[in-house]
Structure formats: structure tokens, C-alpha cells
Structure 1
Amino acid sequence: MQLTVSGLPVFIYTGGQSFAPAQPVVVLLHGAAHDHSVWNFQARHLARHGFSVLAPDLPGHGRSGGAPLASIEALADWLATLLDAAGVRRAAIAGHSMGSLVALQAAAQFPDRITQLILLGSVAPMPVAAPLLSAAHDDRAVAHAMINQWSYTFASQLGASAVPGISLMGLNRRLMERQGDSVLAIDLGACNAYENGLAAAAAVRCPTLLLCADRDQMTPRRAVKPLHEALAGVADGARMISIPRAGHAMLAEAPDAVGNAIRSFLTRR
């Protein structure tokens, strides 16, 4: 599906089903130098279980036009505009890594529009290692290698995959290579500069789920504690679920576990 948002084309994957705004809507936000395709498994799963899915390519990513937005706050504003363009008043929102910061900021900034919040591979603040920031500016191939090494478990690095015949690291490297030259550097810079995460978390009031991969090297579970504690105002407290045998790339390494956890949270009463 393609929409025009702020005068620019935005590509949105809907999980293989026609978008129906009258159904419960869930927005899926990708991370740095990625696009909607990282959510393919979960988008199809949710679309076949009664949800209308919006998995957009963020501005300047994938098949969406424009330049990448340079701050998390700007991306949260853009998300509200996207909902307007899709004719959606209220939606659940899930974000992975950089996308989780956008989701967090949007939930705090637009509390009447976000019904449920799901943060995957998220910490606040989300500092980016200086060597990775430097490589993102000066040598993308080196940056991609760093990201792959830190995002995937040892088993995946040896070739294990939830989908037989697919190299997860090769797929991720090619996905990052397809983005524009400056996309990764801009995205990582936005994550590194975002200082409002804990204040935003303190303002969140909708039901919230934290999904933490037990072998995540980029946003390890021990580093999630400040964010979890800052979400104290959420009714019944923010729930935290560990995804076993997965790293930061949990969407690819544990697609079923992630999809089931999201659907269970969205449908709980």
C-alpha cells in the first residue's frame, strides 16, 4: 500500500491483507537502516489474526520518499501524520530498536492516539558506540559487519535460520546496503542524540510490553532496567518478556516467539 504523507510517497506493508481501519490497527516500526521487510513474519501473523497492519518504510528508507529524519522527535511527529493519512485515529504501536524510541516518544506525545505500546530491543538512553558511529559515516561495509556481529547469536553466525536456506546475516547485510549512503549514519545519530527516553517513559499511560532477547548484545536485558522502572506509571506496570535463544535481531531469529508474544499482549483482556 502507498500513501502520501506530507507530500511524499510512503510505502506500507499490510501483511498481505487489505488494510481495514475499522479493525484494530497495529503499527510496526523498523530500526536503523532497515525497512518494513524486517517485520514480514509478524505482519502476516497479525494480519491473519484480525489486525489491520501498517508496517511503513520510514522516510528515506526502502521505497518511501524524502530524506531520513534526523531526530526521534521528528519521526514521532511523522508517525502521527501517517496515522492521519491512513484514516486511523487510534492504534497500537510496536517498534524495534530505533523504532522503539519512535514508538516510545509517540506514546508520550500523543497519548490519546496510542492504545498499546510494544518495545523490542529497547533501552533509554540508547547510546551508540563511537567506532560504529564513525564507521557509519566513513565505511559502511565495516559498520554493517559490526552490526551483524552484535545483532545475531553465534548459532545464526554459523548459518542457523528459522527459515531453511536463508542466511540471516547475508539478508541483513543486503538490506542495509540497499539504503542510501547516509541513512545508517543519520539513524544511529538520532538514536545516540535522543535524551528524552526516560522522561517519555514516565509519561506513558497505555499498557506496555518490553520484549528482550536473552542474548542481545546491543540492548542487553540488564540495560533495560532504567526504562522498565521509568514506565512505572503504566497501569499494572510494564510487562517484560524474554525471548530465548535470540539476539538483537529477534524479529528474524525468533519470528514465531515474537509474533506470538505481540499477539498475546494485544489480545489480552
Structure 2
Amino acid sequence: MEQTREAGLYTRRFGPKPETGAPAAVLVHGLGLSGRYFVPLARRLAAEDTPVLVPDLPGNARSRGAARRAPDVGQAAAALAHWHRRLSLGPTLLVANSVGCQVAAALAARAPGLVSRMVLVGPALDPDVPAWRQCGALIRDAPREPLSLLGVAVSDYLFTGPLRCAASFRHALRDAAEAFEANLARIRVPTLVVRGAGDTIASRAWTGRVAGLVGDGRTAEIPGAAHAAHYSAPDALAELIGKFTAADPGGSA
């Protein structure tokens, strides 16, 4: 793993160095977190000679200094697009988790030329679920995740800061109510929506709805995993991603 700072965002690189205009995979973390919990999946994707980049979004963890306050979803997507262009990446595979799916959707809707396909893992937030129930679902999910993930998450939340996490949650709720579904409806790239079978946050009905909103969506479920399936079941998710990218014309990412 190589660690760099690109366009103000702390970035982890795995696999071969991405060539200008060539495809790569970009992994987008959830609210208040860093890209650390994507490392198991990043390593597996990179083992197939895929360039993999995992940025910390602005205002989060090691990119905390890239924003004076917690950016909203649209601002995070704009910063990610700027980062993408500075790196001269070709259309990429976006793999996102939780609220990171809202950032990925905003990016794909606003800058479609930057994205070749998407994988949304445990997309949040369902606009029909009240905020207090979303928080309750997160609490119920915690015991279903590996203990090591909880350590990573707590450390990242403290690094990002509770006030920024709270502000980011408010921004995410507003985006879910006002823009997320509209952004999904504008997406035409092939999109795989994945949930862990034990996910208490992204229900089967909601993931089906997300897949139905995009122009070319499909769903998959990983047994034995919960909300962070990319961390607890990286081999299973990497296999799903491999089949998904191989099934679509245009090469693998």
C-alpha cells in the first residue's frame, strides 16, 4: 500500500499505479469514517492487477484539514470529482458503502464521464426511515460486525470529531430526502447494489428500490455479512465485483 495526498485528500493506493486515462477502482467510505475499513477489499481487487485508490473524503479522518467544516453530500462529490480529474483517471469503478453511496450517486449523476460502473454496498439512507430509527439500526448492526471493525470505526469517528459526524449526518439526511433518489434516477452506468444478509440499515426492500431507480441496476446479497460486507466478507464481494465487471462490455475495472 502506498499513501499519498492528492488534491488535498489523503489517498491509499493498491496494486499497479494507475495510468492516465486507464480504468481503476475507487472506494468511497461512509459517514465520519476513513478508507481504512476498505483495505481488505482493496487488497483483493488489487491482487487482480487492478489499480485501487481509497481516499478519505474531505472533512473526514486524515482529510479532515481539507474542509473547514463538514461538507454536504454534493460538496463531497464535487471534491471527489476534482480529485479524480487531478489524478487523470479514466472512467472508474466506484465502490461505495453506506452514506458513501449518496456521494457516489451524486458524482455519477453530475459527472457521468468519470464513472464506468458502480457497486453500492449497504446504501444509506432510506428517506422513508426516520432519523431515530436509522440510529437504532446502526446500533443493532454493531454486534453483527467483526470486533476489529468497531475499533477502526470508533477511532475514525474520534479523529473526524463528533461535531463533524453529527453535521455530516444532518447533511446526509437532507440529501436522502431531497436528492439521493433523483441522483440515482439519472445514473445510466451498470450498477450492482449489494447488502449483507444481516444488514439492519439497508433492508432488502430498500436495496431493491435503489437498484430499480438506476437505469441498469441489479442486486446481490452476501450471507453472513452485515452493513460493512466489504470488510467482513471481502472475498465474497470481490468475487461478485469480478463477475459484475466481466459481464459488462468495456473491460474490467
Kindly provide the CA deviation profile for residues 36-91 of structure 1, in whole angstroms up to 9, marking residues without a partner as x: 10100111111121211111001121211223543211111111101111111421
Q: C-alpha distance in 2, partners of 1:61/1:251?
A: 19
Q: Output the amino acid matched with 1:48.
A: A
Residue 29 of structure 2: aligned partner: 30
Q: C-alpha distance in 2, partners of 1:129/1:176?
A: 22
TM-score (norm 1): 0.80
Q: Output the amino acid matched with 1:85.
A: R
Q: Is residue 124–residue 198 contact of structure 1 (8 Å, CA) maintained in 2?
A: no
Kindly provide the CA deviation profile for residues 140-178 of structure 1, in whole angstroms up to 9, marking residues without a partner as x: xxx7xx676333454x4xxxx4xxxx6333333233223
Q: C-alpha distance in 1, partners of 2:203/2:238?
A: 20
Equivalent residue for 2:149, pick from 168, 175, 179: 168
Q: Is residue 36–residue 152 contact of structure 2 (8 Å, CA) maintained in 1?
A: no
Q: C-alpha distance in 2, partners of 1:148/1:219?
A: 10
1:90 maps to 2:60? no
**Matches of residues 90-109 of structure 1 in structure 2 within 5 Å?**
90-109=91-110
Q: Which ranges in structure 1 are unaligned for 5 or more consecutive residues?
A: 134-142
1:267 maps to 2:243? no
Moved more, 253-262 or 110-119: 253-262
**Matches of residues 41-52 of structure 1 in structure 2 within 5 Å?**
41-52=40-51
Residue 4 of structure 2: aligned partner: 2
Secondary structure of the equivalent of 2:84? helix
Q: Once the 2 structures are TM-superposed, how far is the Cα of residue 181 of structure 1 from its aligned partner?
A: 3.2
Q: C-alpha distance in 2, partners of 1:261/1:97?
A: 18
TM-score (norm 2): 0.85
Q: Output the amino acid matched with 1:264.
A: K
1:230 maps to 2:213? yes
Secondary structure of the equivalent of 2:10? strand
Q: C-alpha distance in 1, partners of 2:138/2:183?
A: 29
Secondary structure of the equivalent of 1:188? helix
Residue 66 of structure 1: aligned partner: 66
Residue 139 of structure 2: aligned partner: 149
Q: Which ranges in structure 2 are unaligned for 5 or more consecutive residues?
A: 249-253
Q: C-alpha distance in 2, partners of 1:115/1:131?
A: 35
Kindly provide the CA deviation profile for residues 179-217 of structure 1, in whole angstroms up to 9, marking residues without a partner as x: 223221122112101121221121111111001111111
Q: Is residue 128–residue 188 contact of structure 1 (8 Å, CA) maintained in 2?
A: no
Q: Output the amino acid matched with 1:184.
A: C
Q: C-alpha distance in 1, partners of 2:58/2:6?
A: 11
Q: Output the amino acid matched with 1:259.
A: A
1:215 maps to 2:194? no
Kindly provide the CA deviation profile for residues 91-137 of structure 1, in whole angstroms up to 9, marking residues without a partner as x: 1211101111111111111112211111111156446754489xxxx
Q: Output the amino acid matched with 1:223.
A: W
Query: How many residue pairs are counted as aligned between the two chains?
Result: 241
1:251 maps to 2:234? no
RMSD of equivalent CA atoms: 2.4
Q: C-alpha distance in 2, partners of 1:130/1:147?
A: 10
Q: Once the 2 structures are TM-superposed, how far is the Cα of residue 252 of structure 1 from its aligned partner?
A: 2.2
Q: C-alpha distance in 2, partners of 1:89/1:58?
A: 20
Residue 136 of structure 1: aligned partner: none
**Matches of residues 121-132 of structure 1 in structure 2 within 5 Å?**
121-123=122-124, 125-126=126-127, 129-131=130-132
Q: Output the amino acid matched with 1:35.
A: S
